[in-house]
C-alpha cells in the first residue's frame, strides 16, 4: 500500500495546475504535475462509469496504489502523479496492471 505521505490530499489536488507531462496506457492515463513536495505524491481516480460498485472501484484503487507504491523510490521528488483509470482495467489481472505500470516509462 502507498504510504500516507505519498498520497495527494484533496487540498493539494485542487491546487495543481496544468500537467507538465501526460502518459497513456491501455488501462490508465497518468498526468504528471510539478510540485514543491520533498517526495512524490499520487492520486488515483476511478469513476463510477469505470466500475459501478464501490467494491470494484476500491479494488482497482488498492491494486494501483500497491504497484505505484513499490516504485516511489524511482521517481524524482517534486512530482505529483494523478492516475485516471480506464474501463479496460476492470477486466485486467494484477499481472497485466503490473506490466503496464512497468512499461509506462515513469520508473
Measured CA to CA in angstroms, residue 3 lies from 39, 48, 55 at distances of 11, 25, 21
Sketch out the chain's domains with CATH numbers: 4-102 (3.30.230.10)
pLDDT at 73 (0 to 100): 65
pLDDT tens sequence across 74-106 = 677 788 889 999 999 999 999 999 999 888 876
- Tally DSSP H helices, then E strands, for the chain: 3, 4
Joined together, the cell numbers standing for residue 81 give 502523479
Residue 30 near residue 50 (C-beta atoms within 8 A):
no
The burial class, CB within 10 Å (0-12 / 13-18 / 19+), for 27 is buried
pLDDT tens sequence across 16-31 = 888 888 989 999 999 9
Q: Which residues are bridge partners to 42 per DSSP?
A: 7, 81
| C-alpha torsion 42→47→50→53, nearest 10 | 110
pLDDT at 62 (0 to 100): 92
Q: Match 521517481 to its residue by C-alpha cell.
A: 75
Of the listed ranges 6-10, 29-33, 56-60, 70-74, the least confidently predicted one is 70-74
Query: Does residue 107 have a pLDDT over 60?
Result: no
Amino acid at each position: 500500500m502507498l504510504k500516507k505521505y505519498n498520497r495527494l490530499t484533496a487540498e493539494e489536488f485542487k491546487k495543481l495546475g496544468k500537467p507538465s507531462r501526460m502518459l497513456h496506457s491501455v488501462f490508465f492515463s497518468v498526468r504528471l504535475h510539478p510540485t514543491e513536495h520533498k517526495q512524490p505524491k499520487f492520486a488515483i481516480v476511478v469513476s463510477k462509469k469505470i466500475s459501478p460498485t464501490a467494491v470494484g472501484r476500491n479494488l482497482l484503487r488498492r491494486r494501483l496504489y500497491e504497484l505505484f507504491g513499490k516504485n516511489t523510490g524511482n521517481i524524482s521528488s517534486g512530482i505529483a502523479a494523478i492516475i485516471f483509470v480506464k474501463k479496460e482495467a476492470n477486466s485486467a489481472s494484477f499481472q497485466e496492471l503490473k506490466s503496464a505500470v512497468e512499461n509506462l516509462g515513469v520508473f
